[in-house]
Chains A and B, each alone.
Chain A
Amino acid sequence: MYRKQVRRRRALLAILVIGSFALLTATYGRGSDGFQRAVSTVFGPVESVASGALKPARDLVNWFDETFEARGRNEALQRRLEEARRQAVGAQAALAENAQLRKLLKLNRSGVIPSGYKTVTAGVVARSSSVWFGEVTIDAGSGDGVRVDDPVINGDGLVGTVTAVSGSTARVTLITDHSSRVSAKVVPTGVQGVIRPEVGDPDDLVLDFIDSGKRIGVGQAVVTAGWRDGELASRYPPNLPIGEVTKAPIMQQEAAQQVHLRPFADLRNLDIVQVLTGGSR
């Protein structure tokens, strides 16, 4: 009895499996046949009624799923936006850095830097918080060959001089610092003088002790004089651009022997500088 049952079971299973394969073989690639059309005809109306009736439930389930998905997508988009912002800021910084480096390269190629000097490029890592904008710290030190009194330039012109050095950093006193003095000359007239800062105004320098007999005009460039007298020599090599004359009233030239100039270098926004090491000092 049991064996008969087992045999019957197996036979039914075999029939079903064979039937499935037969159906597959018969209907594959032929589109709908009569049986399918009949089933669709019978169940089609039931399907449409059921589909209409279940639509609110479907919408409810889908609403939950879409809400969760939208929340996840929102978070992902926020992360991407933040990442894009960071990249944009990084790209802008890189562009600015690139522009400064190009300027430095242009200055180096122009022959302004005298032979015998080596350049050490450094980034500004700290800045004096004082309103005087007198000092910055750069990320190059004695390990890079930087020494005290080395002149420092950027792509626009003279920035200052190194006043303290550690192994990997150096302090640069800017030409706008109250203690700074730079011997300079006006080109092309060749009038010489000493530049001192107009304390509290980093955009204004004063060229003092000029020869009152020679006239200086607005817009004329001022460069380092780079004098040498026996053992004594200026800290700065000659012809490093410093700034241009902005105010040169004749009265002031004659009475006070001074004119005002604006530094070429933007001393409030220094990022990359070059230290001129070595030289004949």
Chain B
Amino acid sequence: MILTPKILARVAAAVILGALLQLCFFSQVAILQVSPDMLPALVVALGLLGGSMTGAVCGFCAGLLVDSLLMLPLGGSSLVLLGIGYAAGLFRERFEIHSMLVPPLLCMGLTFVAELGFGAVELTLGPGGPVSLLVLRDMLVQAILAFFGGWVIFLALRRLLRAALVEEPMVRPRRGPRVIGA
């Protein structure tokens, strides 16, 4: 990704908008009795489009913003989100994305990992206590919701940052030449 001031502003806007949407909308709705968590999907999409450093920095900033807005101890969400942003970027740098299913699948898998990470941070820092297995079900539902949400987020971000992308991550099937009058 070619980072110009304009692109940086767009990325920052995407992160801020994503964090605000997460706090004002997604966290307050219930789908299948679970509030979707779209922030990991946003960070994964940014990592897939911009690479590991972009993913890590965006994850860190998104986590910091969310923790600040929620008045939580700073650093916990940042640590988790920078990890998945970095992992998504690394995936993009190591492998070619051949299918449109890869970004949403990565969003799903890394959202699940992020939720595990949030849980680990909570359990490490918090007072601890019994954890119901229903948490696993909620995490799975969140991951499935991230599959669909991640798809939309990835397509929207790709459109937003198209000018900065060095190459299209998708390998599109080429159309055959049209023969006129055949």
Contacts and interface: CB of A to CB of B under 8 A. Distances in A.
B20 A13 contact: no
B11 interface: no
A51 interface: yes
A65 B76 contact: no
Contacts of A40: 68-69, 71
A32 interface: yes
A72 to B, nearest CB: 10
Nearest to A29: B73
Nearest to A31: B71
Contact of B73 (A13, A17, A27, A57): A27
Contact of B23 (A16, A25, A26, A47): A47
Contacts of A23: 64, 73-75, 78
Given A12-B56, A16-B56, A65-B33, A27 B69 contact: no
Interface in B50-66: 52-53, 56-57, 60, 63-65
Contact of A21 (B30, B31, B79): B79
Most interface-central of A21, A24, A47 (chain B CB within 10 A): A24
Interface string B20-56: 1101110011111100000000000000000011001
Interface in A1-46: 9, 12-13, 16-17, 19-33, 35-36, 39-40, 43, 46
A47 B76 contact: no
Contact of A61 (B20, B31, B53, B60): B31
A32 B71 contact: yes
A16 B68 contact: no
B25 A39 contact: no
A44 B87 CA distance: 32
B125 interface: yes
B68 A54 contact: no
A58 B29 contact: yes
B29 A62 contact: yes
Most interface-central of B23, B68, B78, B82 (chain A CB within 10 A): B68
A48 to B, nearest CB: 9
Contacts of B25: 50, 54, 57-58
Contacts of B73: 23-24, 27-30
Given A16-B56, A58-B29, A36 B74 contact: yes
B49 to A, nearest CB: 17
A53 to B, nearest CB: 8
A69 interface: yes
A41 to B, nearest CB: 10
B86 interface: yes
A62 B30 CA distance: 6
Contacts of B60: 16, 19-20
Interface string B62-103: 011101110101111011001000100000000000000000
Contact of B79 (A17, A29, A35): A17
A19 B71 contact: no
B20 A50 contact: yes
A39 B78 contact: no
Contacts of B16: 43
Contact of B32 (A36, A62, A65): A65
Contacts of B79: 17, 20-21, 24
What 9 pairs across the A-B complex have the smallest Cβ distances? A23-B75, A24-B75, A39-B68, A20-B79, A23-B74, A61-B29, A28-B73, A20-B75, A51-B24
21 contacts: A12-B57, A13-B53, A13-B56, A20-B75, A23-B74, A24-B74, A24-B75, A26-B74, A36-B74, A40-B68, A43-B20, A43-B69, A47-B24, A47-B69, A50-B21, A50-B25, A54-B21, A54-B25, A58-B29, A61-B31, A69-B33
Interface of B: 16, 20-21, 23-25, 28-33, 52-53, 56-57, 60, 63-65, 67-69, 71, 73-76, 78-79, 82, 86, 125
